[in-house]
Structure 1
């Protein structure tokens, strides 16, 4: 059976017996301390620091996501408050106002005054909580700053009645009356 390096050095006379026993005793004490107190070696320290850094990075990422979600909830609460405080009741309208939402054509019932304001760009239509609401232009612009997808219909001021006729349009001589209801 092969002797340990320490025994070989002792036989060769390079190390004396007292020094050999002292080194052996220190090694045993270090192992005992490591088992008892879990004192880590250099490799363990490196592993522990790497694990701690990974945990810190993970917690920073979770905190960042949590902050983003809280900010999104705060923005939605602001939008809800703006809509609730400034929406215009359109339940009593008798005219159907048609508008495009995505690929669908939707309609809401408005009064004649509200229809004119929508055409002039003074009112806008926003979609919130699966309902369409009429809000003033200023409120719609503030909502669009926070979430542009909620503003469904908003004409530019002065847009009504300024349709540009094409030169080759065969119906350019026929004017559509303002009081025509479809």
Structure 2
């Protein structure tokens, strides 16, 4: 039993003896030619790491990450642009409303109106109530408050941002019901 496993396998004929062939030296072991630096060996990507089109899996992940990053950047830029536009609109409306509000501290008559899916209220005096129902005045929502303004100011606010206009009665459609209540208050 002094035979090694190799010798036993050779005797049984299961394994044939493989000749050791001289293999060529590695490319980096070749002497460099004069005037030219030696090139590093090129590494081939294993076939399992590429798909049918020949795109490297790592390259595909890198392209996907780059695409997602550019989409995120574009979305952030769009959001920043929208925020800038909203700030400019808000500033224009504030400039329009500066000194043009008609709210009175001693107003005692409530005027209800629908805004944002809810019933809202603004207090006016008798003359303002008549003008508001006739369409001569309008209500603008600004900073969580409802501000009473002239019709021309309300139209300008509507041109800037229609969502800020809370109430502007159309004079042609303004009518009073049989009970003396404006038609837009009927429910």
Closer, same or farther in 2 for the Cα pair 1:92/1:24, shift >3 Å? Answer: farther
Cα distance, 1:121 vs structure 2: 0.9
Render the CA deviation track for 1:110-166: whole Å, top value 9, x for unaligned. 2x4323321221111122222221111122122223433332221112555x4476x
SS of 1:132's equivalent?
strand
Closer, same or farther in 2 for the Cα pair 1:21/1:159, shift >3 Å? Answer: closer
The count of residues paired between Structure 1 and Structure 2 equals 141
SS of 2:139's equivalent?
strand
Structure in which a larger fraction of residues adopt helix: 1
Aligned counterpart, 1:21: 26
Tell me, yes or no, if structure 1 residue 108 matches structure 2 residue 123. yes
Aligned counterpart, 1:35: none
SS of 2:102's equivalent?
coil
Tell me, yes or no, if structure 1 residue 137 matches structure 2 residue 151. yes
How does 1:29-44 map onto structure 2 within 5 Å?
43=56, 44=58
Q: Which runs of 5+ in 2 are unaligned?
A: 1-17, 31-37, 44-54, 181-187
Closer, same or farther in 2 for the Cα pair 1:68/1:154, shift >3 Å? Answer: same
Structure 2 distance, partners of 1:117, 1:158, is 14
Structure 2 distance, partners of 1:24, 1:53, is 42
SS of 1:91's equivalent?
coil
8 A contact 1:90–1:134 mirrored in 2 = no
Structure 1 distance, partners of 2:101, 2:137, is 10
Closer, same or farther in 2 for the Cα pair 1:29/1:107, shift >3 Å? Answer: same
SS of 1:58's equivalent?
helix
Of 64, 68, 71, the match for 2:85:
71
Tell me, yes or no, if structure 1 residue 150 matches structure 2 residue 155. no
Structure 1 distance, partners of 2:88, 2:163, is 17
- Give the TM-score taking structure 1 as reference length: 0.58
Cα distance, 1:99 vs structure 2: 2.0
Q: How much is the aligned-residue C-alpha RMSD, in angstroms?
A: 3.6
